[in-house]
């Protein structure tokens, strides 16, 4: 940002639509949430209308309602550059709202306020630049134009109506506006500007039909047509179309009205002694209106045109092999049931998402977007400091917690899958010499450790520690996000073991690929077995036991225990001796004596450079992930 915005303390999301305007405001304070401004009590949207009185410009419903207002401009938004009066109309409209909001102390104004104004997704960059210049005035120090689809996605994400996974896929945003239907495609958080399109299929077409049908039903049809066709009454046609819109929106909001007789609204048109004009909005009337072929839609009905638009969009996505994870629909007209029905019909398998108050979505999203835009530099710096100074310490603090579950899992695995089966093989004669158990156990231990079962054991151990690490990191980042008004959902980590035994890209099995430095432990296994053989032989009745004990004792006298051990290790002991000296109880006892020693040696082998490297790599990848996610947030402000 090149502008000096140090004095800015609030952001204003200004959704200037062709038919309606809604405004949200949010302070740049920790945890501050945008709120829709009710410029008239109970009304969160205002008609896009501008008029002039002797004391100055008036906007919204007042421009249509107050006496003495002249030169009304109603539903005047258009694509830049527009006609020669368009810049003056826009500046007068923005300035009038700014003055009104400051007078009612809704905003501070001046250099303390930053406006973020929406525009359709289909507008080109050069058109957005022109529009931004048109909107600025002396009263408004800071203003930026933002595509409405981005604001809508941000609001949907913060309101938890769209998930992080859906945002990481592809999302289609359909803005059913008053004058156009705009469609945008967002892939992996980045908007595809080549896909952005706008179509002249606005909901105002429906309002015009309601008015047209009302005139056709009137006994004074010819008088009404002459009245509305008069150039000096053109703004009154817009006024009555707005009344039709109100009736239509009340109908779609009220489920009871949809089930019953609908809504009937009578207005008096100022023709001579007055001419009553009745607007009827019910299920039968609406069904006929939205399915009526129209010349301005090339002979298609409103629903037919909308369906054609969806078919074209789906075909374009299919050509690019894009399957949307979600379809997000915004705009007040998105309440019409057939909009949801047709979207679900043409995008099967994609989640259909509509904010509960669609007419508020863009204004709230623009304010949130503004918070991020202004806070991003400081936010990025604080996240960077957190990554440099705290992430490694948090992960390192859990080092001991990592080790003990892994030690326990590996110890149990080697005992159950390697050591005990090896002793049983020796007893059964499948291993001829005790010395062969050494190489057998080392080979089998390494094989087991890198097998699916062995890796699952390590995964189970690691997974138990990742959750508290995630919670601690998320607690810290949540505090930072809240401070700057950044949605924490954008930065929240869920550490878990993914495909190929990886955590954020780190192969957590790597430290174990070359085995553990515990080969000497298996020599200890042999000594446990050897001692067990001697003790068992001493307790064995009969000449076999005494002979075995006598021979081994003499060996100890003449050559020492070491040589005696070599001789026993190399001996091919007869099968009946194996079975007598290596009973089931002896195997169990030997294993239980082995377990604590094995655990101790495995623990010692993990306290080394390789395991330290794993801890360092996990911390590094968490830092990279946080940094990448912080950068991803910037897609919203590009």
3-state secondary structure string, 552-607? HHHHHHHHHHHHHHHHHHHCCCCHHHHHHHCCHHHHHHHHHHHHHHHHHHHHHHHC
Question: What is d(CA 319, CA 260) in angstroms, rounded to the nearest whole number?
Answer: 45
CB atoms within 10 A of CB 437: 21
Reference 317, options 120, 122, 170; nearest CA is 170
C-alpha distances out from residue 268 to 71, 214, 278, 319, Å: 21, 12, 9, 53
Q: Identify the bridge partners of residue 173 per DSSP, sorted by sequence position.
A: 184, 328
pLDDT digits (tens, 9 = 90+) for 402-438: 778 878 888 888 888 887 888 788 788 887 776 676 6
> Of 73-77, 158-162, 371-375, 387-391, which gets the smallest average pLDDT?
158-162
Mean pLDDT of the region 515-525: 48
Mean pLDDT of the region 305-328: 90
pLDDT of residue 257: 61
Mean pLDDT of the region 278-286: 83
**554 has a pLDDT exceeding 90:** no
> Of 161-170, 375-384, 390-399, which gets the smallest average pLDDT?
161-170
**568 has a pLDDT exceeding 70:** no
Alpha helical stretches, state H, 13-53: none
> Of 3-7, 141-145, 333-337, 605-609, which gets the smallest average pLDDT?
605-609
Residue 232 has what DSSP assignment? G
Cα-Cα-Cα-Cα torsion 429, 432, 433, 438, nearest 10 degrees, comes to -80
pLDDT digits (tens, 9 = 90+) for 203-224: 888 888 988 988 898 888 888 8
pLDDT band at residue 474 using 50, 70 and 90 as cut-offs = confident
| 8 neighbors 192 (Cβ within 8 angstroms) | no
Sign of CA pseudo-dihedral 310, 315, 319, 322: positive
Q: What are phi and psi of 324, to 5 degrees?
A: -65, 135
Q: Estimate to the nearest angstrom the gap between the alpha carbon of 181 and the chain centroid.
A: 25
What's the Rg (C-alpha) of the chain? 38
Reference 203, options 77, 332, 97, 317; nearest CA is 332
pLDDT digits (tens, 9 = 90+) for 145-154: 988 877 887 7
| 353 neighbors 156 (Cβ within 8 angstroms) | yes
Question: What is d(CA 587, CA 582) in angstroms, rounded to the nearest whole number?
Answer: 6
Mean pLDDT of the region 260-283: 72
| 403 neighbors 607 (Cβ within 8 angstroms) | yes
Q: Estimate to the nearest angstrom the gap between the alpha carbon of 432 and the chain centroid.
A: 61
pLDDT digits (tens, 9 = 90+) for 81-135: 888 899 999 999 999 999 989 998 999 988 899 999 998 877 888 999 999 999 9
Q: Identify the bridge partners of residue 426 per DSSP, sorted by sequence position.
A: none
pLDDT of residue 497: 56
Question: What is d(CA 597, CA 592) in angstroms, rounded to the nearest whole number?
Answer: 9
Question: What is d(CA 189, CA 192) in angstroms, rounded to the nearest whole number?
Answer: 10
Question: What is d(CA 102, CA 96) in angstroms, rounded to the nearest whole number?
Answer: 10
pLDDT of residue 611: 67
> Of 117-126, 367-376, 493-502, which gets the smallest average pLDDT?
493-502
pLDDT of residue 549: 41
| 179 neighbors 148 (Cβ within 8 angstroms) | no
Strands 263-269 and 70-74: unpaired
pLDDT of residue 518: 46
pLDDT of residue 367: 93
Q: Which two tokens stand for residue 296?
A: 């301005």
pLDDT of residue 465: 76
Question: What is d(CA 392, CA 399) in angstroms, rounded to the nearest whole number?
Answer: 11
| 540 neighbors 573 (Cβ within 8 angstroms) | no
Q: Estimate to the nearest angstrom the gap between the alpha carbon of 156 and the chain centroid.
A: 9
Sign of CA pseudo-dihedral 226, 227, 231, 234: negative
Higher pLDDT, 331 or 77: 77
Sign of CA pseudo-dihedral 8, 46, 174, 492: positive
């Amino acid at each position: 940002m090149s502008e000096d915005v140090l004095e800015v303390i609030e952001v204003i999301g200004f959704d200037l639509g062709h038919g309606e305007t809604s405004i949200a405001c949010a302070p740049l304070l920790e945890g501050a949430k945008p709120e829709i401004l009710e410029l008239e009590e109970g009304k969160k949207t205002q008609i896009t209308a501008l008029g002039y009185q002797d004391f100055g410009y008036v906007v919204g419903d007042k421009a249509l309602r107050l006496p003495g207002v002249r030169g009304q401009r109603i539903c005047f938004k258009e694509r830049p550059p527009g006609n020669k009066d368009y810049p003056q109309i826009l500046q007068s409209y923005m300035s009038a709202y700014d003055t009104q909001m400051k007078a009612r102390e809704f905003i501070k104004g001046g250099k303390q306020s930053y406006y973020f104004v929406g525009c359709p997704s289909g507008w080109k960059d050069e058109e957005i630049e022109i529009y931004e210049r048109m909107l600025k005035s002396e009263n408004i120090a800071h203003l930026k134009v933002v595509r409405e689809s981005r604001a809508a996605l941000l609001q949907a994400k913060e309101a938890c109506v769209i998930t992080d996974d859906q945002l990481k896929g592809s999302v289609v945003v359909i803005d059913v506006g008053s004058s156009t239907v705009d469609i945008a495609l967002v892939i992996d958080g980045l908007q595809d500007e080549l896909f952005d399109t706008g179509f002249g299929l606005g909901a105002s077409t429906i309002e015009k039909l309601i008015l047209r049908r009302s005139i056709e039903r009137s006994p004074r049809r010819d008088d009404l047509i002459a009245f509305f066709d008069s150039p000096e009454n053109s703004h009154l046609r817009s006024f009555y179309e707005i009344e039709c819109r109100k009736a239509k929106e009340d109908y779609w909001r009220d489920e009871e009205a949809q089930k019953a007789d609908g809504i009937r609204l009578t207005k008096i048109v100022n023709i001579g002694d007055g001419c009553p004009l009745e607007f009827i909005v019910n299920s039968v009337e609406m069904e006929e209106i939205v399915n009526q072929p129209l010349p301005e839609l090339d002979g298609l009905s409103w629903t037919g045109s909308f369906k054609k638009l969806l078919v074209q969009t789906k075909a374009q996505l299919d050509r690019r092999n894009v399957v949307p994870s979600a379809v997000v629909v915004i705009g007040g007209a998105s309440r019409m049931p057939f909009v949801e029905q047709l979207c679900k019909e043409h995008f099967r398998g994609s989640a259909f998402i509509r904010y509960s108050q669609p007419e508020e979505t863009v204004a709230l999203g623009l304010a949130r977007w503004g918070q991020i835009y202004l806070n991003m530099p400081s936010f990025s710096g604080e996240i960077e400091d957190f990554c440099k100074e705290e992430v490694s310490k948090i992960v390192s603090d859990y080092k001991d917690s990592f080790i003990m579950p892994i030690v326990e899992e590996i110890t149990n695995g080697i005992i159950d899958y390697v050591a005990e089966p090896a002793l049983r093989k020796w007893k059964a004669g499948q291993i001829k010499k005790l010395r062969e158990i050494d190489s057998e156990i080392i080979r089998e231990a390494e094989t087991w450790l890198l097998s699916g079962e062995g890796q699952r054991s390590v995964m189970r151990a690691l997974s138990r520690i990742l959750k508290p690490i995630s919670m601690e990191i998320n607690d810290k980042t949540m505090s930072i996000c809240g401070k700057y008004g950044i949605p924490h959902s954008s930065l929240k980590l869920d550490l878990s073991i993914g495909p190929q035994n990886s955590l954020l890209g780190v192969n957590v099995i790597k430290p174990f690929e070359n085995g553990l430095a515990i080969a000497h432990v298996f020599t200890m296994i042999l000594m446990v077995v050897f001692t067990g053989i001697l003790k068992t032989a001493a307790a064995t009745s009969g000449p076999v036991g005494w002979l075995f004990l006598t021979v081994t004792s003499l060996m100890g006298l003449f050559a020492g225990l070491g040589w005696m051990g070599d001789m026993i290790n190399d001996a091919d002991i007869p099968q009946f001796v194996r079975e007598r000296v290596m009973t089931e109880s002896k195997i169990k006892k030997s294993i239980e004596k082995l377990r604590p020693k094995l655990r101790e040696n495995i623990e010692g082998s993990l306290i080394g450079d390789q395991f330290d490297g794993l801890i360092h790599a996990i911390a590094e990848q968490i830092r990279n992930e946080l940094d990448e996610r912080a950068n991803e947030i910037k897609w919203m402000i590009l």
